[in-house]
Amino acid sequence: MVALQGYYDGNAVRTLEHINAKKNQKLIITVLDEFLEEKPEKKKTSVRGALRKYADATLRKEEEGAWEQAVVDEYDNN
C-alpha cells in the first residue's frame, strides 16, 4: 500500500506526487479537514502586437513580395 498526497480541484482528485497505479486498480481516498492554499490564476497575456512599435508603415509596400524576390535573387540560375 502507498500513501500519496493530493487534492480535489472541484472536478477531479489530483495527486501531488507520481502515482504508479494501473487502470481499474482500487484506491482508498481519505478526505481531510485541511485545505491547500489556492494560488491566483495567472492572467494569460497575448504577445499579439508586441512589436508594433518597431513597425515602419513606409516599408510595407517593399515588404510585399520580398520573400519571393529574395528566393529569386538567391537561387536564380540565369
The pLDDT mean for the chain works out to 85
Q: Where are the domains of the chain?
A: 1-35
Q: What is the value of pTM for the model shown?
A: 0.41
Q: Is 10 left (phi over 0), alpha (psi -120 to 50) or beta?
A: left
pLDDT digits 0-9 by tens, 24-59 = 998 888 888 888 888 788 888 888 888 888 888 888
- Residue reference for cell 513580395: 65
Q: Is 49 left (phi over 0), alpha (psi -120 to 50) or beta?
A: left
